[in-house]
Structures are given as structure tokens and as C-alpha cells.
């Protein structure tokens, strides 16, 4: 009990220095918590909301990375793929860039990413169905209207005044949408762009308004037509594959590529879902990560230096106290224990305060209209996990101990009489 009492008395007696050290450490821990939480939340949200819609456990593509490159016979490839052990389902997709026109005389035009999907097999390989707030895949397979169907993002519908918001989501207006890919075709001697009109039969919503406003889904046959292919030609620039176990993706990917090259002779490449996410996420946040790491590094280094300086000053001021304790029977370990306990208390309190401040800032951000990469902060899961919080507490405790341990060892090497004489 003597060591805790002496440590607590020392902290209380030098309260201003104690408060300063706790504050500096709290700033470093809260900065680390905010940067890490924001970075992790952005990656998870993008992965869950975008790449789960655009990819599956394995994505097969033509080599070269050219969006116009096509898998010539996707149907044969899918038959071979689905006969392999560990494969649950496969579905073709076409990804293209186009122009969407709305309004009277098609005066309102915007660029969009258009995905041609197979409505029968796509629900088996992606999570698009779970993001639909209106409509269903059945609207694709058995349309009730004369025009082909299209599914738009809720943000596009709202920004284009094509829908109104209600308690359940968005009520789509039966409005015509015109799409062109810029392909030209000769009609009656005139060269005209290939266009096609669609009717809205569904709406989806993610946590990414920018994505929702630029990405649309149409049947793959209509997408082929807009690209000037035969609608029933089995061309596709992607094949999405769902596995029985996602962890088997790296091994199955290589087997599928070897098998498809042998069976079809096509030159293909593949990415697992993890590789797909990392490829695009690294490009997206490569510019922000260094800034975040720099902020965290500066905060933590400043905290360590400030605490080390304060501890050094405190030790120099208390050399006489240390000498007296040694002279009256305190062993080296007991004296070290007093100051290490002080550092541990400062580290624990500073870490807890930093975590508390971080939670308050996150609480405020969740209720603000701010966005990052078009992601509304109110819709991000910014609160850290329990394991991460415990890790922050451990880091704060380690910083506190590290700031004083070396200094105490140096001072305590001298004999007690020498310490008294120094004073």
C-alpha cells in the first residue's frame, strides 16, 4: 500500500504537470482513434456497398484491362465453371459507360456506368437484391411494360425529380429513360447513334449517394444491343462466381483460369473479392492515408516527447526525494515502482480520456451533414470495436511507462548518498 500512496501523493502535489501530461496523451489517443475509425469505416462501407454489388467471390475478365474487351463465349465458360467443385453459381455481366437522358426532349443528360446483368443468375452471385428499396428481379424477367426495364439508384431518382421519398424508400415514377453508348449505326442511309428507351421498374440504395447517382442496371441483352452486338450473342466482359466457401477463392481462381484457357482458348485473368477491393480501395485512399498517418504520428510523438520531458523535469526536481527514500530503506525496485505507477496512472487516465473525447467527436460527426468521398458521415459506422479500444488503452499505458522507465533507471544507478548531495 505504501507505493500507491506515495505515487498518488506525488501526482496530487504536482497536479498541473499531471494534468498537462494527461491532456497531451489524450490528444494523441483521440487523434489515432478518429483517423483509424474513419479509415476503417470508409474501407468497410465501400467494400460492403460497392464491391459487393460489382463483384463476387471471384471475377473473371479478359486480359489487358480494356473495358471494351469481351469474353467471346461466356455461356460456355459458365457451364465449365459451374461444373467445378466448390462453385455455387456464375453469372455474366457487361460494364460500359453511357449517357442517360431524361425529361422533355431528353434535355437532361448525364454520364453513367451501365451494368448489363442476367436477372436469373445475378441474385445468386451478388448482393444487389438486398439493396433494392423498390422493385425486384421479377420486373426484369417478366416486365409489365412495353419498354425494357431499368433499375436506378435512389439518388439519381431524387436528383432527377423522377421519384419522391416516403417512409419505405422511394416511389418510382413510370418515366422513360433513354441510354446511348455513343455507338453509331447506319439507318436508312443516315449514321445515327444507337439509343434505347427504358422504363424504371426498381430502385436501389447504398450508403454512397455518388455511386447511386451514376450507376444503373439493365438486362444484359439490351446492353449488348447498345454496344452494337447481337443481343443473344454470349459476349460479356465479366463473369461473377459465387463459391461454397469464400476462403477457397485463391486456389479455385487459379484452377478455373487454367481450365478455361484449356477448354476455350481465351486469354483471361481473375481477381478474388479481396483483391478486387484492395485494387480499387488502394487507389481511392492512397492520398489520404499518408495524411492520416502523419497526423497520428505527430500526435503520438508529441505526446511521448512531452511526457518524457515532464518526467525528466520531475525526476530532476525530486532527486532529493529519491535519495531520502533510498536512505530510509526503499529499495531500487520500490522507488522505481512509485514512478512507474505514476506513469501507469497517467497513461491509463490519458488513454481513457482520449477514448472518451474521441467518442464525443464521433457522436457529433454522426449528427453532422459532413461527407467524406461523398459518404455521409451520419451513415458510417465510426464507433471502434472493443478490441480496438482495449488496444488504445494498452498503447496509452505503454507510452506512459516508456516515457519514464529509462530516466528512472539512469537516476537510480547512483548511490543514495550521492543523490542527496546532488540536491
Would you say 228 and 53 are in contact if contact means Cβ atoms under 8 Å apart?
no
Report the domain count for the chain: 2
Distance CA 362, CA 35 (A): 11
Let me know if residue 271 belongs to a domain.
no
Same domain, 102 and 40: no
CA–CA gap between residue 3 and residue 1 (Å, rounded): 6
Residues 258 and 297 both lie in one domain: no
How much is the pLDDT for 371?
A: 75
List the one residue out of 38, 30, 129, 118 whose CA is nearest residue 75: 118
Give dist(CA 301, CA 410) in Å, integer. Answer: 22
- Decide if 395 is inside a domain: yes
- Say yes or no: 251 and 308 in one domain: no
Residues 71, 22: one domain?
no
Q: Which of 214, 231, 266 is the last residue of a domain?
A: 266
Q: Is residue 281 part of a domain?
A: no
Indicate if the alpha-carbon torsion angle 203, 283, 244, 85 is positive or negative.
positive
In a domain? residue 279? no
Is there a single domain that holds both residue 134 and residue 184? yes
In a domain, 108, yes or no: yes
- Asked if residue 272 is part of any domain, the answer here is no
Q: Is the residue at 302 inside a domain?
A: yes
Q: How far apart are alpha carbons 209 and 378 in whole angstroms?
A: 13
Same domain, yes or no, for 73 and 185?
A: yes
* Helices and strands per DSSP (H, E), number in the chain: 16, 14
Using left for φ > 0, alpha for ψ between -120 and 50, and beta otherwise, residue 268 falls in beta
Q: Do residue 350 and residue 252 come from a single domain?
A: no
Q: What range defines the domain where residue 96 resides? A: 64-266
Among 202, 231, 266, the domain-final residue is 266
Residue 291 CA, chain-centre distance (Å), reads 16
Q: Do 175 and 290 share a structural domain?
A: no
pTM value is 0.69
pLDDT of residue 81: 92
Model pLDDT, residue 422: 44
Residue 169 — left, alpha, or beta (φ > 0 → left; ψ -120 to 50 → alpha)?
Answer: left
Question: Do 198 and 320 share a domain, yes or no?
Answer: no
Place of cell 498503447: 395
Q: Which of 235, 266, 297 marks a domain boundary?
A: 266
Do 374 and 402 sit in the same domain of this protein? yes
Q: Compute, in degrees rounded to 10, the torsion defined by CA atoms 258, 262, 265, 268.
A: -10
In terms of domains, do 31 and 133 share one?
no
In a domain, 55, yes or no: no
Q: Which residues of the chain have pLDDT under 70?
A: 1, 46-49, 65, 67, 104-105, 142-145, 163-175, 186-189, 279-300, 302-327, 329-330, 373-374, 405-423
Angle, helix 15-46 to helix 2-13, in steps of 10 degrees = 90
* Gap between the Cα atoms of 19 and 111, Å rounded: 56
Domain match, 120 and 150 both: yes
Interval 312-370: pLDDT, tens: 565 556 666 666 666 676 677 777 777 788 888 888 998 899 999 999 999 998 888 88
Amino acid at each position: 500500500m505504501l507505493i500507491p500512496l506515495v505515487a498518488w501523493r506525488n501526482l496530487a502535489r504536482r497536479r498541473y504537470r499531471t494534468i498537462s501530461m494527461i491532456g497531451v496523451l489524450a490528444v494523441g489517443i483521440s487523434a489515432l482513434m478518429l483517423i483509424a475509425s474513419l479509415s476503417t469505416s470508409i474501407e468497410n462501407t465501400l467494400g460492403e456497398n460497392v464491391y459487393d454489388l460489382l463483384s463476387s467471390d471471384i471475377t473473371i475478365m479478359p486480359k489487358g484491362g480494356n473495358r471494351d474487351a469481351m469474353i467471346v463465349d461466356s455461356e460456355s465458360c459458365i457451364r465449365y465453371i459451374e461444373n467445378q467443385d466448390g462453385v455455387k453459381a456464375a453469372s455474366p455481366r457487361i460494364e460500359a459507360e453511357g449517357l442517360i437522358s431524361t425529361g422533355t426532349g431528353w434535355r437532361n443528360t448525364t454520364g453513367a456506368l451501365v451494368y448489363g446483368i442476367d436477372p436469373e443468375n445475378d441474385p445468386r452471385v451478388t448482393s444487389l437484391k438486398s439493396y433494392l428499396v423498390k422493385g425486384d428481379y421479377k420486373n426484369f424477367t417478366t416486365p409489365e411494360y412495353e419498354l425494357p426495364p431499368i433499375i436506378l439508384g435512389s439518388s439519381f431518382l431524387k436528383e432527377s425529380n423522377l421519384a419522391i421519398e416516403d417512409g419505405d424508400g422511394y416511389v418510382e415514377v413510370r418515366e422513360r429513360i433513354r441510354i446511348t453508348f455513343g455507338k453509331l449505326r447506319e439507318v436508312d442511309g443516315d449514321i445515327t447513334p444507337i439509343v434505347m428507351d427504358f422504363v424504371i421498374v426498381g430502385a436501389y440504395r447504398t450508403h454512397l449517394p455518388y455511386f447511386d447517382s451514376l450507376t444503373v442496371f439493365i438486362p444484359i441483352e439490351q446492353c449488348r444491343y447498345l454496344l452494337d452486338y447481337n443481343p443473344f450473342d454470349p459476349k460479356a466482359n465479366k463473369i461473377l462466381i459465387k463459391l461454397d466457401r469464400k476462403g477457397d477463392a485463391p486456389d479455385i481462381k487459379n484452377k478455373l483460369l487454367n481450365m478455361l484457357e484449356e477448354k476455350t482458348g481465351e486469354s483471361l485473368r481473375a481477381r478474388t473479392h479481396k483483391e478486387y477491393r484492395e485494387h480499387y480501395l488502394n487507389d481511392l485512399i492512397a492520398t489520404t492515408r499518408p495524411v492520416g498517418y502523419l497526423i497520428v504520428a505527430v500526435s503520438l510523438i508529441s505526446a511521448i516527447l512531452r511526457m518524457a520531458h515532464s518526467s525528466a523535469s520531475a525526476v530532476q526536481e525530486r532527486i532529493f526525494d529519491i535519495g531520502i527514500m533510498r536512505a530510509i530503506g526503499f529499495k531500487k525496485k520500490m522507488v522505481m515502482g512509485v514512478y512507474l505507477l505514476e506513469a501507469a496512472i497517467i497513461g491509463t487516465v490519458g488513454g481513457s480520456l482520449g477514448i472518451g473525447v474521441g467518442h464525443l467527436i464521433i457522436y457529433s460527426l454522426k449528427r453532422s451533414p459532413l461527407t467524406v468521398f461523398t459518404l455521409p458521415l451520419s451513415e458510417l459506422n465510426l464507433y471502434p470495436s472493443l478490441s480496438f479500444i482495449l488496444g488504445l488503452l494498452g498503447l496509452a499505458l505503454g507510452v506512459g511507462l516508456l516515457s519514464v522507465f529509462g530516466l528512472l533507471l539512469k537516476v537510480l544507478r547512483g548511490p543514495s548518498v550521492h543523490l542527496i548531495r546532488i540536491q
